[in-house]
């Protein structure tokens, strides 16, 4: 299942990752065990969360095995580029799983981009939309920054939760479900807001994609 949306004029793609197509339970279980060892592992700048980026060789934690998941991702990305760029051939690109994030009450990730890549992906592998924070995107458009002053009437009556109105606002919380993967331009600023109180761990796998010279 694929769904394409336009957020602030940028393409956002939703892809359903079948949880039975890889060893999801093992990955989630191992990440939960790592979180129990240190819930604030490898805090990044002003962000507060558990993640292994830059700390891959720390023997205190379980090294997550993504081999089966990578096979699923490869097919997902091949299909994505074929459909997104309407190409009959496969694009020449490189991708890698760069991180996972695990967040509970009071934790968050500050706004950032991945400017050295072309696309970024967030895969929700343990996520309760009723309890967990969705990925929040920041609108860099002047319309979003000053929408309240420019189009005051629209700003006041528009449904803020609907993506078609996202251009009116300075940010947008992108609605997601467990097993969703969101694929978006890597230069689009995004963050995880402070997580409200919950005893359930919010877990995402993060991937970046780089288009290579030479085209298809």
Residue 139: pLDDT band (50, 70, 90) is: confident
Q: Which domain holds residue 67?
A: 2-135+174-211
- Flag whether 73 is in a domain: yes
Count of domains forming the chain: 1
pLDDT at 1: 47
- 87-118 pLDDT per residue, tens: 666 678 999 999 999 999 999 999 999 999 99
Specify the higher pLDDT residue, 83 or 128: 128
Short-list 73, 174, 64, CA closest to 127: 174
Q: 104 with 131: CB under 8 angstroms? A: no
- Flag whether 53 is in a domain: yes
Q: 182 with 11: CB under 8 angstroms? A: no
- Flag whether 41 is in a domain: yes
- Flag whether 187 is in a domain: yes
- Cut 0.95: pTM above it: no
CATH value at residue 81: 2.60.120.620
- Flag whether 31 is in a domain: yes
- Flag whether 199 is in a domain: yes
- Flag whether 198 is in a domain: yes
- Flag whether 145 is in a domain: no
d(CA 102, CA 31): 8
Q: Mean per-residue pLDDT for 132-150?
A: 73
């Amino acid at each position: 299942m694929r769904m394409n949306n336009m957020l602030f004029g940028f393409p956002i793609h939703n892809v359903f990752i079948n949880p039975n197509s890889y060893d999801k339970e093992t990955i989630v279980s191992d990440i939960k065990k790592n979180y129990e060892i240190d819930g604030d592992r490898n805090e990044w700048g002003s962000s507060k969360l558990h993640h292994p980026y830059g700390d891959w060789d720390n023997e205190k934690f379980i090294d997550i095995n993504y081999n089966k998941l990578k096979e699923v991702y490869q097919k997902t990305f091949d299909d994505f580029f074929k459909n997104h760029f309407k190409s009959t051939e496969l694009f020449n690109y490189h991708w890698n799983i760069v991180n996972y994030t695990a967040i509970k009450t009071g934790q968050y990730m500050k706004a950032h981009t991945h400017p050295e890549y072309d696309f970024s992906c967030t895969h929700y592998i343990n996520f309760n939309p009723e309890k967990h924070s969705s990925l929040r995107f920041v609108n860099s458009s002047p319309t979003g920054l000053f929408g309240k002053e420019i189009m005051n009437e629209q700003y006041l009556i528009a449904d803020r939760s609907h993506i078609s109105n996202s251009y009116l606002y300075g940010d947008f919380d992108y609605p997601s479900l467990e097993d969703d993967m969101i694929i978006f331009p890597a230069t689009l600023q995004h963050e995880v807001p402070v997580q409200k109180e919950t005893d359930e761990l919010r877990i995402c796998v993060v991937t970046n994609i780089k288009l290579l010279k030479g085209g298809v």
